[in-house]
Structure 1
Amino acid sequence: MSSLLSHNKDPPRIRKSLSDICPDSSNATAKSLRHERLSRLGSSGPSDVSNNSSTNHAESYFLRRENRLSARKKAEEETLNNDYKKMYEKALATNQRLKSRLETSKQELTMIQDHLHRAQEGTLSDCGSNELEAEKKESWSLKNTISDMEEQLKVKAELKMENQRLKDENGALIRVITKLSK
């Protein structure tokens, strides 16, 4: 092969390898393609015409191969884009549904808080009237207790006075008995 390049006065063409063009392909595939290309170029013989035809044949093969790979890659990208588009639309629909549920929940929460606030205000006003009634009952019971205690104090005072009277009578009787016994 080096003899072919030395006889050929044209500068050697620099071709990109398949791994440079399509980085997704594996190294093993790229090496086998390079080996196949080199074997075709090497088997062509010493003539420049056959070398050029085999080079053109190899170039056309690789161009067709690259076109097929790029077409396949485009198809895969479109499929992925469609998949992403479907996933995006699905996520968007889910987000809209969740937003509507959230809005409904917020409205329900507001209504429940309003009802709770109203109920608490009603309870407080009821509690106020209940407290007034309780205070009235308590004051009435305290008044009854006070009047009972006043009556008990009166009875106690009367009992003290009667007790004192009985003591005085008892002392007088003891004196009379002592005078009689002497």
Structure 2
Amino acid sequence: MSSYFARSKDLTRTRKSVTDSPPASPSYTDKNYRHERLSRYDSSGETVTDKPLGRTSSYTRREARLAALNRTDPDTTSKDYKKMYEEALHENEKLKSRLNNSKQELTKLRSQLEKVTQKHDRISERSSALESEKREKQALEKRVSDMEEEIKVLTELKSDNQRLKDENGALIRVISKLSK
């Protein structure tokens, strides 16, 4: 019995000596962890993760509810599991309906996107066709203007040719009168 008593005294001394020692200065990493712990709280004392965000996932809401239940009622061992099951089932049904709605909206948006891309493709095809038509039109206009220039030159040449014929005829008459 004396060994037990002596041993318990040693243990208490060891404990006292550990707790009586001055605290060590916090290391750099300890300070950072303390800063992280402090930065999780805002001025109201709530943690940043406790605040509701714009859109929270059902998982985080469920975890928050379970944490709230555990904090408020830790001593009760008889929980209403049937009620919790029904609530979870109800929430799952809500989530399934939201998922289905989201899927329908996604398919609708995809079809609209497909229509828009097809329309854009048709417009780009039209614009490329319009570009080629514009080039053809410009080429034809240039050709027409060249032909008009040629026609002007031809009409001038015809008029010159006619004048020269007339002059030639007059000269022939003069020569024929002179030779008589």
The TM-score normalised by the length of structure 1 is 0.44
| Larger RCO (CA within 8 A; separation ≥ 6) | 1
